[in-house]
Structure 1
Amino acid sequence: MKGTTLAELLHLARRRLSDAGIEGAAFDARLLVEDITGTTRSEAITDPDRLIDADMLTAVDAALSRRISGEPVHRILGYREFHGLRFSLSAETLEPRPDTETLVDAMVPLLAEIGERKGTCSILDLGTGTGAIALALLAAVPRASALGVDISEDALDTAARNARGLGLSERFKALRSNWFEGISGQFDAIVSNPPYIRSAEIETLQKEVRNFDPLRALDGGADGLDAYRTIARESARHLETGGFVAVEIGSSQKAEVTDIFLGAGFLMKTALRDLTGNDRVLMFTGGGKA
């Protein structure tokens, strides 16, 4: 590929992914080429004859091979955008996905109001992973602080690194805990995107998810509801009066998760759908305290 231009490289990358049956081949090819060559979409139009050096061609070739093997494009890049922010990924973190922005968007005005009224507001993010939910909330609500907990040291290191990169370290703390085991105190909001896939369904997931997302961030137990039972059972004693619990759910779990929280004494505040129209976020108040 000596003497290959930017335009030729983009064409070859698209064709290689497309021939391998990769869905969204053109988009993935563009992301990989732009990231590795340091070019932009506009430069592909204004400077298509730019020559790409041999090291970059080798790197693009390796990245395309990884994508063809099933590795998701954002895992290859090492980061993903979420709520307008860039989050580094690691082996034991889920990729933050657009569906989860529904939870952030729902919580921002509520937390802002609490912050205005109290002068501050506190967030507990259970299973924080990359820190995406907590850090997106902190970026949008300057008076908020957050504790992100996870059982994985790798995830906690990644979340802390993301907090530093976004300039939010002073308001974010990462703590190793198996759900509430290491938690003390109360919070204005408890948020979580917990594992909610049924154990028996893990093997039916796309290979991009099954082979590259961390299993314990996916597996919700036999019925996919184990984490919700824990959150519903333990949240009340860690929730400030007037606080909220917000959880992401699988698209078919609204009724079951609602029943779990109502059975624990919570009140339903709202249920939200994502941009594709699927049930995605449930928000509750109280646990006998609201």
Structure 2
Amino acid sequence: MATAGQTINAAASRLAAVGIDTAHYDARLMVAEVLGVEMRRLPASHHVELNGGETACLAVMLERRLAREPMSHILGRRGFWTHDFLVTKDTLDPRPDTETLIEAVLDALDDRGLPRRLLDFGTGTGCILLTLLSELGHATGLGVDASPAALAVAGRNAEALGLASRAEFRLGDWGAGMEGVFDVIVSNPPYIPDGDIDGLEPEVVRYEPRSALAGGPDGLECYRRLIPDMARLLAPGGVAALEVGMGQAAEVAGLLAAAGLSGASARRDLGGVERCVIVRRQK
């Protein structure tokens, strides 16, 4: 039987051969999963021999990854902020870039203990709404999505994180027919220009829902539909934040201004890309 360390090296070599940039990391994830250990404890298990069942399980996982299936789908979860979120083929994977939006919203709120009402358009896994609720202990929130399957995933994530009593999920077409006011409105809408999607990584093109990616011919179609609803539903003094694609921040800020939400600013992600546009409505 091969040891964990030998297995990691062999798996990483096969993954790298098909062009997977994260080959060694993915191999470590798979071995940690079959051994049932945390990644940070994996070095202590490098000399442990995998048994027959573990080897067979890893072989199945490896073949799936060689077919460019995302690790999140193989494991059934993806880490975001400080939590793991259930993901499926019906949801967009939570991405580290989206944590920029979380940081921007939290930094904009002076008192995190207030009983705020949050709204998340295109909630998907619920990762944005649920992360904010976990940081804002007295807030409640509503997540809206056009996909019943995605809403089911978000509901399961809320239950797993102990947030189901403060989170509601609703089927909807952005803000159509919605009433009320919200203190914080967030969204990570589809923003990839339609013509660019087929050039994305196989993990994205083959396995993530196109409806969660496609932003129309210029990538801004969903913003044009969404922003008027955000402006209508945002409370005086409230904060609205949108994730944006590369080069889109200025145009999205212009759309916000045209809807009456002027003074938006952009926040950069760790790669230096303007990733979030945030604005506060005047009181």
Write out aligned runs for 1:128-143 (5 A). 128-143=123-138
1:84 pairs with 2:82: yes
Pair 27,253 (structure 1): closer, same or farther in 2 beyond 3 Å? same
Q: Give the share of equivalent positions with the same residue, in percent.
A: 39
Which deviates more from structure 2 when the two are superposed, residues 266-275 or residues 144-153? 266-275
Query: How far has the Cα of 1:276 moved from its partner?
Result: 0.5
**Residue number in structure 2 paired with 1:266:** 261
C-alpha contact 1:111 1:121 (8 A) present in aligned 2: no
Matches within 5 A, 1:100-115: 100-111=98-109, 113=111
CA, structure 1 residues 49+199, in 2 after alignment: closer, same or farther (shift >3 Å)? same
User: Structure 1: how far apart are the matches of 2:191 and 2:42?
Assistant: 41
Residues 13 and 136 of structure 1: CA distance in aligned 2, closer, same or farther (over 3 Å): same
Letter in 2 for 1:157: A
**Post-superposition shift, 1:91?**
1.2
Q: Contact 2:253–2:265 at 8 Å: present in 1 too?
A: no
**CA 1:76 to 1:112, structure 2 compared with 1: closer, same or farther past 3 Å?**
farther
What is the aligned counterpart of 1:225 among 200, 220, 227? 220
Residue range with higher mean Cα deviation, 122-131 or 30-39: 30-39
Q: How does 1:53-92 map to 2 (within 5 A)?
A: 53-92=51-90
Could you tell me how far 1:41 is from its partner in structure 2? Answer: 4.2
* Distance 1:285-1:112 versus aligned 2 partners, 3 A rule: closer
1:6-85 to structure 2, matched below 5 A, reads 6-41=4-39, 43-85=41-83
Q: Once the two structures are superposed, what CA deviation does each residue of 1:90-126 show, in whole Å capped at 9, x if it has no partner?
A: 111111111100110111143452x54xx41011000
Question: Relative to structure 1, is the Cα distance of residues 243 and 69 closer, same or farther in structure 2, using a 3 angstrom cutoff?
Answer: same
* Shift, 1:61, TM fit: 0.9
CA RMSD of aligned residues (A): 1.6
Matched, 1:279 2:277: no
In 2, the alpha carbon distance for the partners of 1:216 and 1:112 equals 35
Residues 146-197 of structure 1, C-alpha deviations (whole Å, 9 max, x = no match): 1011011111111111111111111101111111125221100110000001
**Secondary structure of the residue that 1:196 maps to in structure 2?**
coil
Matched AA of 1:46: A
Q: Aligned partners of 1:44, 1:155: CA distance in 2, in Å? A: 33
Aligned pairs for 1:205-224 (under 5 A) are 205-224=200-219
**What residue number does 1:185 align with?**
180
SS in 2 for 1:241: strand
Q: TM-score, normalised by structure 1?
A: 0.93
1: CA distance, partners of 2:275 / 2:249: 8
Unaligned runs of 5+ in 2: none
Where does the alignment leave 5 or more consecutive residues of structure 1 unmatched?
Answer: none
How many Å apart are 1:8 and its aligned residue?
Answer: 2.2
- Whole-angstrom distance in 2 between the partners of 1:253 and 1:42: 37
Cα distance change on mapping 1:231 and 1:12 into 2, 3 Å? same
Match of 1:244 among 239, 242, 267: 239
Runs of 4+ that moved beyond 6 A: none
SS in 2 for 1:170: coil
Q: Deviations over 1:16-47 (max 9, x none)?
A: 21222221210010011111221344554334
Aligned length: 283
Separation (CA, whole Å) in 1 of partners of 2:39 and 2:161? 25
Identify which range, 3-12 or 121-130, moves more after superposition. 3-12
Conserved 8 A contact 1:91-1:154:
no
